[in-house]
Amino acid sequence: MPDDLAEEMRLHMAEPFPDAVEKGTDYGEVDAVMIGADIYGWATRAGSLSDLDRSRLVQAADELRRSMEAFPADARPYYERILRIARLTLDV
C-alpha cells in the first residue's frame, strides 16, 4: 500500500468507479461520487489548504469513515483509498 500521496492519487485516477455503487446515491452520510471528488480536490492543494479547508477535509473523512459499512463490500477498497488520500493530505 503506497504511503505517498501522489502515488495514491495516481492509483485512484487509474481505478474505475465501482460498478456496485449507484452514482448520485447517498451511502451512510456521504454522496458516493461527491465524497471522492471533494477529497481528491483538497488533495490537489495539499500543503496549502486553509484552516477552513482542512476542517472540511477532516469532517468529510470522518463522514466517509463512519459510512464505510453502507457501501457494498466490493466497493470498499475504492473508498478506503480515498480515506488514505485524505489522511496523507492532512499529514502534509
Could you read off the pLDDT of 56-81 as tens digits, one per residue?
999 999 999 999 999 999 999 999 99
CB contact burial 26-38 (16+ within 10 A = b; e otherwise):
ebeebebeebbeb
The pLDDT tens digits of the residues spanning 29-56 come to 999 999 999 999 999 999 999 999 999 9
Distance in angstroms (rounded) separating the CA atoms of residues 53 and 32 = 20
DSSP one-letter string for 66-83: HHGGGS-GGGHHHHHHHH
CB half-sphere exposure, 10, CA atoms < 13 A: 7
pTM, two decimal places: 0.93
